[in-house]
């Protein structure tokens, strides 16, 4: 099939099934956002602990290195015997994938704060909790948000793959399209999936720049 005709028929597929594609896109975004939320809730506190406690740091960063190398498809495969097929194992695997960039960036963001700033805050009479909330996390926030941005893009990518174990989302159309050699169908999944990733990346990019500005 020529490229031009494929493009026309993708358009026709999207026009004929707008509600189906939209529903899949919504499901795709939902599982990705949920996974990124879970990953943020776990990784930011963990990143703070990793920054503070040396013993945890060595262990956690070592595990991150190993975790990073394990292929996403293998991770999904390893979930199956434990959790079976469906939304839950997909969510767990996607969240596990999204943990790493947020954890690394939280640690790196906290590490990059000059010691004299923290000493100045202490000199002003701030408690440890105040220093953490008002100084450290605030100064590290652009880097942490950059990590969450990466995590969301990764989540959207892994969610596409997780359609194969029943996550739902736009990956359904892609896998169906490939299996039945139906080019318009697979492109009707692939192009919106890529669009979703670009949109998420772009929107978070704007948020990141907003955070950097007022902090100088």
Partner 1 sequence: MSYPLANALLIWRLTLEHLQISAVSCLLAILTACPLGVLVGRVRWLAPPVLAAAGIFYTIPSVALFAILIPVLGLGVKPTVLALVLYSQLALIRNTAVGINEVDAALLQAAQGMGMTNTQRFWRVEVPLAIPVIFAGVRTATVMAIGLASIAAYIGAGGLGVLIFQGISTGNTDQILTGAVAVSILALLADAILSSIQHVLRWAMGVRA
Contact 24, 169 (CB under 8 A): yes
Separation of alpha carbons 119 and 171, rounded Å: 50
What distance separates the 2 farthest-apart alpha carbons in the chain? 71
Of the ranges 54-62, 79-87, 99-107, 131-139, which one interacts with partner 1 (CB under 8 A)?
79-87
Q: Give whole-number Cα distances, 54 to 3, 127, 142, in Å.
A: 55, 22, 24
Read off the DSSP letter of residue 163.
G
Read off the DSSP letter of residue 182.
-
Read off the DSSP letter of residue 72.
H
CB of 171 to partner 1, least distance (A): 6
**Of 38, 44, 36, 104, which Cα lies nearest the Cα of 68?**
104
Helices 18-52 & 87-111, crossing angle to 10 degrees?
40
Of the ranges 41-49, 65-73, 127-135, 137-145, which one interacts with partner 1 (CB under 8 A)?
65-73
Closer residue to partner 1 in complex, CB, 99/163: 163
Q: Does 176 bind partner 1 (CB under 8 A)?
A: no
Closer residue to partner 1 in complex, CB, 90/103: 90
Q: Does 31 bind partner 1 (CB under 8 A)?
A: no
48's tokens: 């703070």
Q: Does 175 bind partner 1 (CB under 8 A)?
A: yes
Site string for partner 1, 192-211 (x = CB under 8 A): -xx--xx--x----------
Separation of alpha carbons 115 and 118, rounded Å: 5
One residue of 41, 80, 111, 117 binding partner 1 per CB under 8 A: 80
One residue of 140, 145, 186, 204 binding partner 1 per CB under 8 A: 186
103's tokens: 């954890």
One residue of 24, 160, 167, 168 binding partner 1 per CB under 8 A: 160
Q: Does 36 bind partner 1 (CB under 8 A)?
A: no
Separation of alpha carbons 102 and 147, rounded Å: 4
One residue of 64, 78, 137, 211 binding partner 1 per CB under 8 A: 78
One residue of 83, 178, 211, 212 binding partner 1 per CB under 8 A: 178
Closer residue to partner 1 in complex, CB, 2/216: 2
Separation of alpha carbons 5 and 89, rounded Å: 38
Residues that bind partner 1 (CB under 8 A): 1, 3, 6, 65-66, 68-78, 80-81, 85, 153, 156-157, 159-161, 163-165, 170-171, 174-175, 177-178, 183, 186-187, 189-191, 193-194, 197-198, 201
């Amino acid at each position: 099939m020529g490229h031009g005709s494929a493009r026309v028929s993708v358009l026709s597929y999207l026009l004929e099934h707008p509600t189906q594609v939209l529903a899949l896109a919504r499901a795709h975004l939902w599982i990705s956002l949920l996974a990124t939320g879970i990953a943020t809730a776990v990784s930011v506190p963990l990143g703070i602990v990793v920054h503070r406690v040396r013993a945890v740091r060595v262990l956690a960063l070592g595990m991150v290195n190993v975790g990073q190398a394990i292929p996403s498809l293998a991770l999904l495969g390893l979930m199956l015997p434990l959790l079976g097929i469906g939304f839950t194992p997909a969510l767990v695997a996607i969240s596990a994938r999204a943990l790493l960039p947020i954890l690394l960036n939280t640690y790196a963001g906290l590490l990059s704060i000059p010691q004299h700033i923290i000493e100045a805050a202490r000199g002003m009479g701030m408690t440890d909790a105040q220093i953490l909330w008002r100084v450290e996390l605030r100064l590290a926030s652009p880097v942490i948000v950059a990590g969450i941005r990466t995590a969301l893009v990764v989540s959207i990518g892994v969610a596409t793959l997780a359609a194969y174990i029943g996550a739902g989302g736009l990956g359904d159309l892609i896998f169906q399209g490939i299996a039945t050699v139906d080019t318009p169908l697979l492109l009707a999944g692939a192009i919106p999936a890529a669009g979703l990733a670009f949109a998420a990346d772009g929107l978070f990019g704007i948020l990141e720049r907003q955070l950097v500005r007022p902090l100088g």
